[in-house]
Amino acid sequence: MLAMYDFLRMILSFVFVLGVLVFVHELGHYLAARWRGVHVDVFSIGFGKPLYRWYDKVGTEWRICPIPLGGYVRPHGFADPEDVTEEERATYIDGKTFHGKDVGSRAIVIAAGPIFNFLLAIIIYFGLFVTVGQPKLGEPIAQSIIADSAAAKAGIQPKDKLIKIGDIDKLNVEKVILFAQQHPDLSTTITVNREGKDISLPITIGSHSQDGKKIGQLGIGLDMNIIKGKPMSIGSAAIASVEKTWDVSAQTVVGLGQMITGQRSAKDLGGPIKIAQLSGQVSKGGFADLFNFMAILSISLGLINLFPIPILDGGRLVFYAFEAIFRKPVPKPIQNWAFQIGFVLILLLFVFSMYNDISQLSVFRWLTGHTN
């Protein structure tokens, strides 16, 4: 009975989280289109044959579809004029077509989706900071030092407070861990505060192998307990929410870059199954944890859609930048070729993330003999 309850909670949390993220992303496209005078033919949440549909007063068809893995907005006259028949062009509403607008307006419509994902993250963080505060890890104070580690060789002692490492100051536990992991075998300096005095110590970050990759380590035991925050004022929460969104965005980009360069295992890349599992797990902690998770996913969705891959929003923005600079669109054969490559890349990414998800399932590990 408990397993069934957990499964239902996972499904409901997944549908809720992904549904909100997709709706907000597509709402950005929709509102930007309306602002720039483009009629929207269809606004769909989910894929497949519509379960329910209705038309609003301006003629937009709204759909709810059964496959909750995305959605789309179809602006009026979105297809290139040379790709549609005379009969289709005859149905166009004068002045309301997407391709009838200037390149700046088209770029705004496309960019609005990812922008709304970042705005959603800011709004979520703002709401959390105002109501429950900003939880954070404790200060980077050494609780213990591993013998013969990089920290021990540098002379760091228990109770030392880490002030600066390399060029990174204003340290917290997360910054220390990330810097060390990303810089194996780096020779640098670390500044600690010991009994009220700042001491600069030379250090060579240690390393160990994980999934065939080098990961840096200092050998310092830090306090990993999360300190519960206090509700912030509206002004402080507004600033902190923007800073948090920026920090998470930067960390996500760094993480993706490490996967591409091989510094981090690509096994960390998850797909729908992993998102569903995490949605169910974080929902156990309450709405605050679930909304925090939603903010992180919203940032990831915004960043991914800005990748310069033609089938994504970022790829279209690259085409529009070319058109704005050279006063003519990218040649049609190049566009077709690029979209085909983009489709293959996204398909491969989806398949790879699904493989990662499935390979972590216990039944798959049992079948393949990887039970540890």
Residues with catalytic function: 26
Buried b (16+ CB within 10 A) or exposed e, 124-153: bbbebbbebbbeebeebbbeebeeebbbbe
Helices within 80-228 (DSSP H only): 86-90, 103-131, 150-154, 173-182
Inter-residue contact 353 to 269 (CB < 8 Å): yes
Among 353, 339, 315, 321, smallest CA distance to 113 is for: 315
Backbone angles phi, psi at 198, to 5 degrees: -85, 130
Torsion of CA 141, 144, 150, 154, to 10 degrees: 70
DSSP letter at 149 equals S
Concatenating the DSSP letter of every residue in 45-113 gives: EEESS-SEEEE-TT-PEEEE-SEEEEEEEEETT-S-GGGS-HHHHHTPPTT--STTS-HHHHHHHHHHH
Measured in whole angstroms, the distance separating CA 267 from the mean position of its chain's CA atoms is 16
Residues forming a β-bridge with 42:
61, 74
Q: Under DSSP, is residue 41 helix (H, G, I), strand (E, B) or coil? A: strand
Inter-residue contact 324 to 103 (CB < 8 Å): yes
d(CA 347, CA 81): 27
Q: Under DSSP, is residue 195 helix (H, G, I), strand (E, B) or coil? A: coil
Residue type, 151: A
Backbone angles phi, psi at 206, to 5 degrees: -75, 180
